[in-house]
């Protein structure tokens, strides 16, 4: 029966030696989860290719393709048409199926592969015949075997023949879940969603912690974080979000600590809270969107002081990036327009006029002396909402 399917070539998975089978299983599980709402599918593993074959009628393959394109662990994939192993069928369907690609191209070539060696035509013969059919449908095209714009591939397999055009680029990275779980500190700005995306790409399952300080921050800024995480979740899968009531801590810092260290003390509290949430959730690292020297609280000395408050590794995937590089990724994952909406987040509440750029740990521990740190932490943790952000 004639239908469209998806063929997935694994990327880095092939390099993983004996772990490959496990990784492939995780990948298939992730794809399955992501496209399940769109219909029933059958999955087949052959050599280094996974085929996703729709079983239900009238599946929206454009949407399936888009979703597969956001699953980590896929370097390249293609959409292919499955037809009967009959030359007339293949010649009739190839130009029609690939019309959108061929119409606007100038050059192409046809590659044929036969795993069924009993098929009456040889590979070069298949290529020549299908090429001829395409040329008569699109007389403007030229054949270029060296550097064609479109490579039309015809595969003759055991049961069916498959026709496909150029491959599509996948999301790359490692399948979500193959690297464990980590917790991202998300503010609502441009950087943290990008950091979350980049670490998820390395196979991490994500949790997120957001600090809300009503009335200094509005319900809209919490909604904004939700929408940002939803974009990230379209790649990483579901994210559990912990929204921590942070007002009391910020007011306590304002009332009891030197102004030039407000931001740093606040960030140390964030690290402590995120660490204890992460520990309970079996998450093994924190993720932040810090970029070296971007603001006063992200100088080397400042980062050293915040780092000391965390009880686990802190991943900072953007540490070496310029703002425009970060923005490029945020546009790619579609978070930029949400990030620049003008709602205050807790980082801009009580900003010192002249923040310390070269703090030491000793200075900070002294500055924190007047605070009942444990009690504040305890109450903040109790004042935490949990929601799941779906993809």
Partner 1 sequence: MNAYLDNSATTKPCERALKKTMQIASGCYGNPSSLHFMGYEAKKELDFARKSVADFIGAKPEEVYFTSGGTASNMTAILGTAAAKKRDGKKIITSRLEHPSVIKNFELLGEQGFLPVFLEPDGNGKVSPDSIYSAVDENTILVSLMAVNNEVGSVQCFDKVKQIIKSKKSNALYHCDAVQGFGKIKINPAKCGIDLMSMSAHKIHGLKGSGALYVSKNARIKPAIVGGGQENGLVSGTEAMPSLCAFGAAVEDIGSVDENCSKVKMLRDMFLEKISDYDYIYVNSPSDALPYILNISVKGVPSQVMLNALSAEGICVSAGSACSKGHRSSVLSAMNIEPARIDSALRISLSKYTEEDEMNMLFDAIIKTANRIRR
The residues of the shown chain that bind partner 1, judged by CB under 8 A, are 214-219, 254, 342, 344
Whose Cβ is closer to partner 1: residue 281's or residue 344's?
A: 344
Whose Cβ is closer to partner 1: residue 214's or residue 293's?
A: 214
Q: How far is CA 189 from CA 192, 237, 239, 290, 326, in A?
A: 7, 21, 18, 11, 11
| Closest by Cα among 276, 275, 290, 284 to 205 | 284
- Those residues whose C-beta lies under 8 Å from the C-beta of residue 4, and which sit 6 or more positions away, are 54, 61, 79, 80, 81, 82
Question: Smallest distance, Å, CB 30 to partner 1?
Answer: 39
Question: Smallest distance, Å, CB 95 to partner 1?
Answer: 43
Question: Smallest distance, Å, CB 211 to partner 1?
Answer: 15
Separation of alpha carbons 282 and 243, rounded Å: 18
Whose Cβ is closer to partner 1: residue 119's or residue 350's?
A: 350
CB 48 within 8 Å of CB 14: yes
SS3 165: coil
Whose Cβ is closer to partner 1: residue 254's or residue 331's?
A: 254
Question: Smallest distance, Å, CB 171 to partner 1?
Answer: 33
Whose Cβ is closer to partner 1: residue 139's or residue 215's?
A: 215
Whose Cβ is closer to partner 1: residue 116's or residue 344's?
A: 344
Q: Which two tokens stand for residue 44?
A: 């087949």
Question: Smallest distance, Å, CB 112 to partner 1?
Answer: 57
Q: Identify any residues that bridge with 151 across adjacent strands, giving them in sequence order.
A: 109
Tally of CB atoms within 10 A around 319: 16
Whose Cβ is closer to partner 1: residue 198's or residue 257's?
A: 257
Separation of alpha carbons 278 and 19, rounded Å: 27
Separation of alpha carbons 6 and 50, rounded Å: 8
Half-sphere exposure of 44 (CA within 13 A, CB side): 10
Question: Smallest distance, Å, CB 219 to partner 1?
Answer: 8
Question: Smallest distance, Å, CB 154 to partner 1?
Answer: 53
Whose Cβ is closer to partner 1: residue 17's or residue 342's?
A: 342
Backbone angles phi, psi at 95, to 5 degrees: -65, -35
Q: How far is CA 351 from CA 53, 156, 298, 379, in A?
A: 55, 66, 14, 23
Question: Smallest distance, Å, CB 216 to partner 1?
Answer: 5
Find the helix or strand (DSSP H, E) in which 101 lies: helix 99-103
CB 264 within 8 Å of CB 362: no
Separation of alpha carbons 309 and 373, rounded Å: 12
215: cis peptide before it, omega within 30°? yes
Question: Smallest distance, Å, CB 135 to partner 1?
Answer: 48
Whose Cβ is closer to partner 1: residue 180's or residue 219's?
A: 219
Question: Smallest distance, Å, CB 256 to partner 1?
Answer: 12
H helix count then E strand count, the chain: 14, 15
Q: Which two tokens stand for residue 29?
A: 């599980």
Whose Cβ is closer to partner 1: residue 65's or residue 218's?
A: 218
């Amino acid at each position: 029966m004639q239908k469209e399917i998806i063929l997935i070539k694994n990327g880095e998975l092939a390099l993983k030696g004996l772990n490959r089978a496990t990784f492939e299983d995780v990948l298939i599980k992730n794809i399955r989860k992501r496209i399940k709402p769109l219909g029933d599918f059958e999955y087949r593993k052959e050599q280094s290719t996974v085929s996703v074959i729709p079983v239900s009628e009238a599946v929206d393959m454009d949407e399936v393709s888009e979703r597969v394109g956001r699953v980590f662990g896929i370097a390249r994939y293609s959409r292919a048409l499955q037809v009967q192993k009959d030359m007339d069928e293949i010649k009739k369907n190839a130009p029609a199926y690939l019309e959108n690609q061929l119409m606007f191209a100038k050059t192409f070539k046809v590659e044929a592969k036969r795993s069924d060696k009993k098929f009456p035509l040889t590979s070069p013969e298949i290529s020549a015949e299908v090429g001829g059919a395409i040329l008569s449908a699109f007389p403007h095209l030229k054949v270029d075997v060296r550097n064609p714009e479109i490579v039309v591939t015809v595969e003759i397999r055991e049961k069916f023949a498959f026709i496909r055009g150029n491959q599509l680029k996948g999301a790359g990275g490692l399948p979500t879940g193959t690297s464990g779980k980590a917790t991202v500190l998300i503010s609502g700005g441009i950087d943290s969603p990008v950091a979350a995306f980049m670490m998820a790409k390395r196979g991490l399952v994500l949790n997120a912690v957001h600090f809300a300080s009503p009335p200094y921050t509005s319900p809209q800024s919490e909604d904004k974080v939700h929408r940002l995480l939803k974009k990230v979740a379209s790649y990483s899968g579901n994210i559990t979000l912990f929204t921590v009531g942070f007002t009391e801590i910020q007011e306590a810092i304002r009332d009891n600590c030197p102004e030039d260290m407000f931001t740093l003390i606040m960030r140390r509290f964030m690290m402590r809270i995120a660490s204890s949430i992460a520990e309970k959730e079996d998450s093994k690292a924190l993720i932040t969107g810090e970029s070296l020297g971007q603001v006063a609280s992200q100088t080397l000395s400042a980062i050293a002081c915040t780092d000391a408050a965390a009880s686990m590794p802190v991943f900072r995937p953007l540490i070496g990036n310029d703002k425009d590089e970060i923005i490029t990724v945020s546009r790619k994952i579609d978070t930029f327009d949400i990030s620049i909406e003008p709602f205050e987040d807790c980082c801009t509440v009580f900003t010192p006029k002249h923040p310390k750029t070269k703090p030491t740990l000793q200075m900070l521990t002294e500055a924190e002396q007047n605070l009942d740190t444990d009690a504040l932490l305890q109450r903040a943790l109790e004042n935490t909402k949990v929601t799941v952000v779906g993809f």
